[in-house]
Structure 1
Amino acid sequence: MADWSDLTNDVLEYIARLLSFSDHYLFSAVCRNWRSVSKWRWYPPAPQLPWLVLDEESDTSKRKFYSLSEDKHYSIDIPELHGCYICGSSHGWLFAVDIKITGILINPFTRECYELPPFPAYGKNVDVTTLTEKVPSDYIEGPRDYTFEEMQLKIVFKAILSHDPKKKSDFTAMILFGEFNTPAFWRPGDLGWTVVVGQEGSMSDVVYFKGNFYVLSWMNVLRVVDFEPEPKLREVGPEIRVWYHSYQNYLMDFNGELLLINRLCETEENGQTITVDFDVIEPDLENNRIWYWYDFDDLYAIFLGRNSSIFVHSNDFSMCKKNGIYFTHLTETIFSPAEFGCHDLGVYDMKDESISKFFSLEVFPPPVGSPIWLTPNPL
């Protein structure tokens, strides 16, 4: 009988490139030789479906994950994320804010980590370091004292990266923070965040596309970040008028095309907000016009949430819905309590405009907060 530990590296590399993310770890546990190939591999990895990052397990430092490809739940010990709120996912890295409003950037599977500088002030009436000022709000009658727990969920609306830090050391991190989701950026070596000026209204999403950061307002106004001579926002692209008010807008780099996705929701009698439809629009920046998309040519599926938007080739995965838009429940805020749990996540079929579940209730632990998509990046 052949000794599997004596297989040559080229054979092992061929096997390993066919494995899913979870099988990659089983592969590395066979023996020292297999682990060496797994750890130092230079072969292209197999296509991976995103995982969902869920809550912590009670009374532990383990974080729960859900594998869509396996319809399976995992618990992984990541002490650095204990007590943290996940506010962004990009290139396989997570942005997290702890209870003292300190931010970190971490690869949850290699546990490589960057400590982020203190965030800019949430608003002119709030001192994040003390959280003692009272802030008037349109949502709550009278002034309100914010607690650390509340500010942990509110300080950063979204966070993304320009590049994978493991592949490009001079990457840029961009966040939308504060009362109006103001953009600010940080690069390794910077002592603090640099706020981008020129904002009008509140921002909804940000994407890194063809060497630039683009920011979208809640009213579908698209702006690009000009870094020189000082960082500021400049309006670009065609005017995008819609007859409805979308609940959430997303930007994404789809195979070299800039897409804007409007998510439409309805509020039910019990107060739950439920997603009912999506519109996919391509802003043509060169010709100053827009195009509506009605499917992804039966080839792709996309994943939306607080993560950098992700697309995959659905033909690579038998369980992946073609022309599907996988979406997660919108992030909890202090004005949207967790009493309903994770009630609004599913997959939208662009062709028949239906919405269905993508998970088995038996293996999917309903999170209290908002799950977030993550592309596994163990390299």
Structure 2
Amino acid sequence: MSTIDWSELPLDVLGYLTSFLPLPDYHRFGAVCKNWSIVVRERHHRPAQQLPWYILGEESSTGKRVFLNLAENKHYYMDIPELHEHFVCGSSFGWLFGVDIHMNIRMVEPFSRKSYNLPPLDFSPAILNDPDHNWEVLKAISDHDPSERSDFTVMVVGYNYRVAFWRHGDPTWTIPYKSYGAINDVIFFKGKFYAIGYVCSDQIFVVDVGLGPDAELISLEHQVPMLPNTYKYLAEFKGELLVLQIQKARGIASGTRNEAWPCPHKGTTNIVVHKLDLDLEGKSCFECEHLDNHALFVGNNSL
């Protein structure tokens, strides 16, 4: 019986096999031989769905970025020089977004080391001279994978809970017209960017980035019952748009003396989730009592 040379399998077959591998095994696969490495670099198939990885910051002695793989309960240490002294403010399609003290934003694919340097983000000139402005980018996402298409757009939530976007090739960021309160979260869903208001807001917005400098946040009519004083997030789940409202214990939050304000550092007292149907008139919704044993990770990130 002849021996099978696995390194000579057709590239399309090898690529298909990689779609069943979790991320660590996906990259171990690429270290086997030249042909297998080509398949991983070309990324015709994504790794299998898995739990997200936590980014824990840099190791002080080496500067390596520390990741926690929840599925394995294991730490990985990666040297990503492009993100040294950067605060990681988001991720999309496996790309990481980092912002430095001067509000320069960089997006990096940590395995291929491809990167884009985005223009400095200037929400307010005053914060650039303030050493305590604390990396004023709260979240960054992209609408497409830059590895697959060049016409991608990046959107961020930043200083004073405002949003801005940058389209590949633009010389500067665009800050959409602001006739609204603060924004807490953004998402790219079925070809459009959506945003949701901060604690006291009951608004959901859609952003038409195709308008470029004339873009504005347009309030979306919806029937989601908004609870007072909750932290609000948007998430995609099985092809549907979810609106999550998280109630926190009351307390004096940073920057306010209002003891009735929900404090982000205190425990969660209640979570209410609604599915929002954007296809129907009136933007109908209904409350979700369970997620079929699935878990959602919300915050300053994007899966």
TM tier, shorter chain? 0.7 to 0.9
Q: Which runs of 5+ in 1 are unaligned?
A: 132-145, 311-379
State how far apart, in whole Å, the 2-side matches of 1:13 and 1:119 are: 38
Question: Relative to structure 1, is the Cα distance of residues 187 and 280 closer, same or farther in structure 2, using a 3 angstrom cutoff?
Answer: same
What one-letter code is carried by the residue in structure 2 that aligns with 1:261? L
Q: CA shift at 1:306, angstroms?
A: 0.8
Bigger RCO (CA 8 Å, 6+ sep): 1
1:290 pairs, out of 285, 288, 296, with 285
Counterpart code for 1:61: G
Q: Is the 8 A contact 2:91 2:140 kept in 1?
A: yes
Q: Which amino acid aligns with 2:162?
A: T
| Sequence identity (%) | 37
| Contact persistence 1:61–1:81 (CA under 8 A) | no
User: Mind listing any 5+ residue stretches in structure 2 that lack a counterpart?
Assistant: 253-262
Question: Counterpart in 1 of 2:259?
Answer: none
TM-score relative to the length of structure 1? 0.68
How do 1:183-332 residues align onto structure 2 when only pairs under 5 Å count? 183-218=163-198, 219-227=201-209, 228=211, 230-246=214-230, 248-266=231-249, 272-285=265-278, 286-288=280-282, 289-298=284-293, 300-308=294-302, 310=303
- 2:273 corresponds to which letter in structure 1? V
SS in 2 for 1:303: coil
Which residue number in structure 2 is paired with residue 356 of structure 1? none
Mapping of residues 24-173 of structure 1, within 5 Å? 24-40=26-42, 42-43=44-45, 45-122=47-124, 126-129=125-128, 131=129, 146-147=130-131, 150-153=132-135, 155-173=136-154
Residues 273-330 of structure 1 show CA distances to partners (whole Å, capped at 9, x for unaligned) of: 22343211123342323310111234x432212112x4xxxxxxxxxxxxxxxxxxxx
Cα separation, partners in 2 of 1:5 and 1:194, compared to 1, 3 Å: same
Question: Once the 2 structures are TM-superposed, how far is the Cα of residue 41 of structure 1 from its aligned partner?
Answer: 5.4
Q: Give the Cα–Cα distance (whole angstroms) in 1 for the partners of residues 17 and 222 of structure 2.
A: 48
Distance of aligned partners of 1:217 and 1:17 in 2 relative to their CA distance in 1, 3 Å threshold = closer
* Post-superposition CA distance 1:130-180 (Å, at most 9, x none): x1xxxxxxxxxxxxxx31xx3242x2122111111112211111112222x
* Partner Cα separation in structure 2 for residue 33 and residue 239 of structure 1: 53
Alpha-carbon RMSD across the aligned residues, in angstroms, is 2.6
Which residue type is aligned with residue 222 of structure 1?
A: I
Q: CA deviation at 1:49?
A: 2.6
Q: Deviations over 1:320-358 (max 9, x none)?
A: xxxxxxxxxxxxxxxxxxxxxxxxxxxxxxxxxxxxxxx
